[in-house]
A and B are shown apart, each in its own frame.
Chain A
């Protein structure tokens, strides 16, 4: 009886160890597959708009500006509708890393803090995540520009 108990306990412990070992890994794998699919689909949609603009005779240097504008619009619009957060539940980084996720990071906190007013609520909270992105992005581009000027 006692032996059975310990054996059962041991099995239980083994099982828990297996669960511990396996679950984070398979969760990571599953998350990566979903991120790959969702991110891939969003980029393919971007490619669709790019091809569409080319078909309409818009030059390539102009369409490369239009595509982010269009994608940002959809990201912001779908966030407003509450659809983008549902995509994010499954997509993880697949919905965060594309520029639509950047738009999502602007609209989401801004909507939430609207009750704090249109200046310090909406106006300020839009940049909770977008602000740092612009700070590091623009500052690093200036540094690159300065280095490029001197070594060019």
Chain B
């Protein structure tokens, strides 16, 4: 139980440090970092590299954005295995559907309820 938290903390922390180094060293904007991380998550999962990281890091690997790519790639490969070619188009979004729908719905609701704080 405690090991779960420690490995989630360490693996999640390391992934964030990689992002921090990219931001500080390459002048990449946060938007580009997020795009790079999601795409890397997809590619690393397809190559079979991300699955072991998820096994070790658990939420530490699935909560950061590469974990979003992991859900997309895992979903697409599962669906292709089960349904064939059509799965290439339906599997990815299916795999990440929960996160996408939640992001859109909660994002919209919160944007409506709250107002931007005036920046000091």
Contact = CB atoms under 8 A, between A and B. Distances in A.
B88 A148 contact: yes
Given A46-B63, A80-B111, A141 B75 contact: yes
Contacts of A66: 98
A134 to B, nearest CB: 7
Majority SS of interface residues in chain B? helix
Interface in B97-120: 97-104, 106-117
A94 B20 contact: yes
B49 interface: no
A80 B113 contact: yes
B20 A67 contact: no
Contacts, number: 287
A91 B84 CA distance: 43
Contact of B81 (A85, A132, A152): A152
Contact of A103 (B13, B62, B84, B103): B103
Contacts of A112: 116
Interface residues of B, number: 84
A93 to B, nearest CB: 3
Contacts of B45: 144
Contacts of B102: 68-69, 72-73
B34 A46 contact: no
Interface in A25-48: 27-28, 31-32, 35-44, 46-48
B107 A97 contact: no
B25 to A, nearest CB: 7
- The interface centre, meaning the residue of A93, A99, A136 with most chain B CB atoms within 10 A of its CB, is A93
Interface size class of A (residues with CB under 8 A): 35 or more
Majority SS of interface residues in chain A? helix
Contacts of A67: 59, 62-63
Given A99-B65, A142-B76, A129 B99 contact: no
Contact of A97 (B33, B77, B101, B116): B33
Interface of B: 1, 4-5, 8-25, 30-31, 33-35, 37-39, 41-43, 45-46, 57-60, 62-65, 67-69, 71-73, 75-77, 79-81, 84-85, 87-89, 91-93, 95-104, 106-117
Given A39-B12, A76-B109, 6 more contacts: A64-B71, A69-B98, A96-B23, A140-B38, A141-B91, A145-B80
